[in-house]
C-alpha cells in the first residue's frame, strides 16, 4: 500500500524568509509522480509543483523548489522569499499505478508579517 506522510501539521515563516515543508512517502511502484498542491482559505486546490520520479533533477517553479531524495523517499518543498499569499494548507501527493493518487494529511503554513 502507498502512504504519504507529512509530519508537520503546522509551520510558520516570517515574510521574505525561506521555509521547507517535509514529505515522505512509500510506494512499491517503480514509476510514479510527486506533486505539491496548495489550498488557500478559498478551498481551491492549486498545483504548486510536479516531479517525475525518474528525473534526478529537482523541479523548480519560481520561488518554489523541491528536494527530491528518491532513495530516502523524501520530497520536501522549499518556499523562498515567503509572501503573505503563500499562507495556505499544502498537500503532498503521489500518483502511481493505474492513476491512483495518495495525498498526505497536509501542513498549514502561516506567514507572519
Partner 1 sequence: EAQVTQNPRYLITVTGKKLTVTCSQNMNHEYMSWYRQDPGLGLRQIYYSMNVEVTDKGDVPEGYKVSRKEKRNFPLILESPSPNQTSLYFCASSSLGVAYNEQFFGPGTRLTVL
Number of neighbours of residue 44 by Cβ within 10 angstroms: 10
Which residue has cell 511502484?
A: 29
| 46 class by beta-carbon count within 10 Å (0-12 exposed, 13-18 middle, 19+ buried) | exposed
Distance CA 24, CA 93 (A): 10
List the one residue from 22, 33, 74, 80 that touches partner 1 (CB under 8 A). 33
Backbone angles phi, psi at 92, to 5 degrees: -90, 145
Using rule CB under 8 A, residue 75 touches partner 1: no
Using rule CB under 8 A, residue 104 touches partner 1: yes
DSSP state of 59: P
Using rule CB under 8 A, residue 88 touches partner 1: no
Using rule CB under 8 A, residue 103 touches partner 1: yes
Using rule CB under 8 A, residue 77 touches partner 1: no
Using rule CB under 8 A, residue 45 touches partner 1: yes
In the complex, minimum distance from the CB of residue 36 to partner 1, in angstroms, rounded to a whole number: 11
Contact residues for partner 1 (CB under 8 A)? 4, 6, 32-33, 35, 43-45, 47, 50, 52, 91, 93, 95-96, 98-106
Amino acid at each position: 500500500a502507498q502512504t504519504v506522510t507529512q509530519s508537520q501539521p503546522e509551520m510558520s515563516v516570517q515574510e521574505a524568509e525561506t521555509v521547507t515543508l517535509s514529505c515522505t512517502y512509500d510506494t512499491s511502484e517503480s514509476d510514479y509522480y510527486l506533486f505539491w498542491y496548495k489550498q488557500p482559505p478559498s478551498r481551491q486546490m492549486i498545483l504548486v509543483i510536479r516531479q517525475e520520479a525518474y528525473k534526478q533533477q529537482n523541479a523548480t517553479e519560481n520561488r518554489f523548489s523541491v528536494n527530491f531524495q528518491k532513495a530516502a523517499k523524501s520530497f520536501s518543498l522549499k518556499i523562498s522569499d515567503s509572501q503573505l499569499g503563500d499562507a495556505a494548507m499544502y498537500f503532498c501527493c503521489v500518483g502511481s499505478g493505474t492513476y491512483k493518487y495518495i495525498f498526505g494529511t497536509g501542513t498549514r503554513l502561516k506567514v507572519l508579517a
